[in-house]
Amino acid sequence: MNSHVRVGSVELVHPVMAASGTAGHGAELSAYGALDSIGAVVVKSIAATEWAGNPAPRVHPIAQGMINAVGLQGLGVQHWIEHDLPAMAAVNASAVVSIWGRSVDEYRQAAQLLHDGLERSPHRSTVIAVEVNLSCPNMHGHGIFAHDIAMSAEVMAACSVLEYPLWAKLSPNTDRVIAVAQAVHEAGAEAVTLINTVVGMVLDPETGRPALGNGGGGISGRAIHPVAVRTVFDVHAALPNLPIVGVGGVTSGWEAAELMLAGASAVQVGTATFADPRACFKIAGELSEWVTRHGLTEVASLTGLAHRGGLTPP
Ligand SMILES: Cc1cc2nc3c(=O)[nH]c(=O)nc-3n(C[C@H](O)[C@H](O)[C@H](O)COP(=O)(O)O)c2cc1C
């Protein structure tokens, strides 16, 4: 069974990757499995400069998943290049660097710093793509970037200094996801990553106040899997030539296959890693087994099959 897939110009040894913010900043998961056996590790989103994130508590369990408001804590692009990239190179991981900002200018700065730092780094070939996280809150009063078609395109254009394939990570909390996907593609995104968390809130039964320090947060895990399947399905139906990376509530090989059948070329595993740090490796194995069990020889052949009559065309 051939497990190689392509996301635009990027070739992955396996479609399963670790999702941003759930697998550390670099090589942390190498304690639990061989990072060169999965497609890539998408690192925690980093900004141009250090950022403290939100007040605690930052995570809370829900039925079938969790809610978080970590707030994109991180030490910045330069620190990542000096400290985390070498560790990833040492274990032959493939890195997808996720960047974020609070304004178009901050995205531009993060992209420029990443470009300059990677140009000087002996480990630049460890990076295979850059995922631009457009689904984070913007503190200049614009809400989530990926809910604004023009601004999403502006951010992607601002990141064009990067000589790596760009993926745009979009939000499911809008009815404009197809228009946003098209706009970011036209502005330079080679692929879109669908989906980031679904906005929500949990109250504490003792205090009657929000359980998270930030108030609201983002829901992830199994609870949002059908939202991810629907978003991937709709975007693939409207834009069949736009490569999609599917993410949201994948806890098994079947759920990874489901996102591919809906239209994803590859998938990411997030919250499942908090329950079991070996989840990415386990799910990658299960997906390969599932494909073989269904008589297929190429995992890539799953992409979009649900739109073409499924596994058993009429
Ligand atoms: C604790 C936590 C932190 C996250 N941090 C980021 C982040 O820094 N950047 C990003 O693009 N997505 C981040 N995400 C979103 C995940 O990458 C993923 O899109 C989402 O959780 C849905 O996938 P899942 O249900 O498999 O977790 C985070 C999710 C969680 C649970």
195 Cα to the center of ligand 1, angstroms: 9
| Overall average pLDDT of the 121-139 stretch | 89
Q: Which of 271, 274, 280, 283 to mutate to test the pocket of ligand 1 (most atoms within 8 A of CB)?
A: 271
Q: What local confidence, expressed as pLDDT, does residue 79 receive?
A: 96
CB atoms within 10 A of CB 175: 8
pTM for the full predicted model: 0.97
pLDDT at 130 over 90: yes
Closest Cα to atom 22, ligand 1: which residue? 248
Place of tokens 């300059």: 116
pLDDT at 140 over 80: no
Mean pLDDT over the full length of the chain: 95
Do 55 and 215 meet the contact criterion of CB atoms below 8 Å apart? no
Helix (H) or strand (E) holding 18: strand 16-18
Considering the chain, what percentage of its residues have pLDDT values greater than 90? 91
Convert the pLDDT of each residue in 40-81 to its tens digit.
Answer: 999 999 999 888 888 899 999 999 999 999 888 899 999 999
pLDDT at 137 over 80: no
CA distance 179 to 160: 20
CA distance 145 to 239: 21
Closest atom of ligand 1 to CA, residue 268: 26
Q: What local confidence, expressed as pLDDT, does residue 52 receive?
A: 86
pLDDT at 292 over 90: yes
280 is catalytic: no
43 Cα to the center of ligand 1, angstroms: 10
Convert the pLDDT of each residue in 207-231 to its tens digit.
Answer: 999 999 999 999 999 999 999 999 9
Residue 277, both tokens: 């740090």
From 66, 136, 212, 267, active-site residue: 136
Closest Cα to atom 5, ligand 1: which residue? 21
Closest atom of ligand 1 to CA, residue 19: 17
pLDDT at 93 over 60: yes
Q: What local confidence, expressed as pLDDT, does residue 71 receive?
A: 83
| Overall average pLDDT of the 118-127 stretch | 97
At 141, the pLDDT band (50, 70, 90 cuts) reads: low
Ligand 1 neighbours by CB, cut-off 6 Å: 19-22, 44-45, 59, 66, 68, 70, 72, 98, 133, 169, 196-197, 220-221, 224, 247-250, 269-272
pLDDT at 313 over 90: no
Q: What local confidence, expressed as pLDDT, does residue 138 receive?
A: 44
Convert the pLDDT of each residue in 171-213 to its tens digit.
Answer: 999 999 999 999 999 999 999 999 999 999 999 999 999 999 9
70 Cα to the center of ligand 1, angstroms: 10
Closest atom of ligand 1 to CA, residue 228: 22
| Overall average pLDDT of the 233-257 stretch | 98
CA distance 288 to 298: 9
CA distance 279 to 29: 10
Do 4 and 300 meet the contact criterion of CB atoms below 8 Å apart? yes
Domains plus CATH for the chain? 5-54+70-199+220-308 (3.20.20.70)
Closest Cα to atom 28, ligand 1: which residue? 21
Q: What local confidence, expressed as pLDDT, does residue 43 receive?
A: 97
23 Cα to the center of ligand 1, angstroms: 9
At 312, the pLDDT band (50, 70, 90 cuts) reads: confident
Q: Convert 204-235 to b/e letters by CB count within 10 Å (16 or more is b).
A: eeeeeebbbebeebbbbbbbbbebbbbbbbbb
Closest atom of ligand 1 to CA, residue 169: 11
- Of 53 and 138, the structure prediction assigns the larger pLDDT to 53
